[in-house]
């Protein structure tokens, strides 16, 4: 989920407990539950991970689709991802509701922050998806085209 507040994007910072020196910035999101649409999963995951509550009609997209290949907790994963975008003007003035992190999320999420693309370019940590550290033109503003980012090893 790509949640924007003007020119800032809400990102989470996490780490792998099996590789404590490795940390990264990533977008809120997660799995789709049985019977759930991609759009409703994006809204639910955003609320659970960040406390920001949106309605499905506030999402544009999907703007991106990709398959991520990565190691986490000493296991290899293949994750099919769908990204929606939404604007939340003056988000910092809207207090988020309580987060509902899973035990794993409590172990690996270190922070959340509103960041600019420049912040991500200069970040010492990895950024996922990597494209966020080079261009936001695919979704600011969104032109109505869903882009397939393909398979991205991380």
- List per-residue pLDDT tens for the chain, 154 residues long: 999 998 999 999 999 888 888 899 999 998 899 999 999 999 999 998 898 889 999 999 999 999 988 787 778 878 899 999 999 876 555 555 556 766 777 678 888 899 999 999 999 999 999 999 999 999 999 999 999 999 877 6
**Confidence at residue 30, expressed as pLDDT on a 0 to 100 scale:** 87
**What pLDDT does residue 78 have?**
87
Backbone dihedral region of 63: left (phi > 0), alpha (psi from -120 to 50 degrees) or beta? Answer: alpha
Query: What pTM was computed for the model?
Result: 0.89
Q: What pLDDT was estimated at residue 117?
A: 96
Distance between CA atoms of 46 and 86, rounded to whole angstroms? Answer: 11
How far apart CA 57 and CA 28 sit, in angstroms, is 18
Per-domain residue ranges for the chain?
A: 2-153
Which class is 2-153 in CATH?
A: alpha beta
The whole-angstrom separation of Cα 143 and Cα 60 is 10
């Amino acid at each position: 989920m790509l949640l924007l507040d003007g020119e800032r994007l809400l990102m989470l910072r996490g780490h792998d407990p099996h590789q404590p020196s490795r940390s990264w910035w990533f977008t809120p999101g997660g799995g789709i539950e049985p019977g759930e649409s991609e759009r409703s999963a994006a809204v639910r995951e955003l609320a659970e991970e960040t406390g920001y509550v949106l309605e499905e009609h506030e999402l544009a997209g999907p703007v991106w689709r990709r398959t991520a290949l990565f190691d986490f907790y000493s296991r290899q994963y293949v994750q099919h991802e769908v990204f929606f975008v939404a604007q939340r003007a003056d988000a910092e003035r809207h207090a988020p509701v309580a987060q509902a992190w899973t035990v794993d999320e409590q172990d690996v999420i270190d922070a959340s922050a509103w960041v600019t693309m420049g912040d991500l370019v200069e970040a010492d940590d990895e950024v996922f998806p990597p494209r966020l550290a080079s261009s936001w033109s695919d979704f600011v503003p969104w032109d109505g085209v869903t882009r397939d980012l393909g398979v991205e090893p991380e």
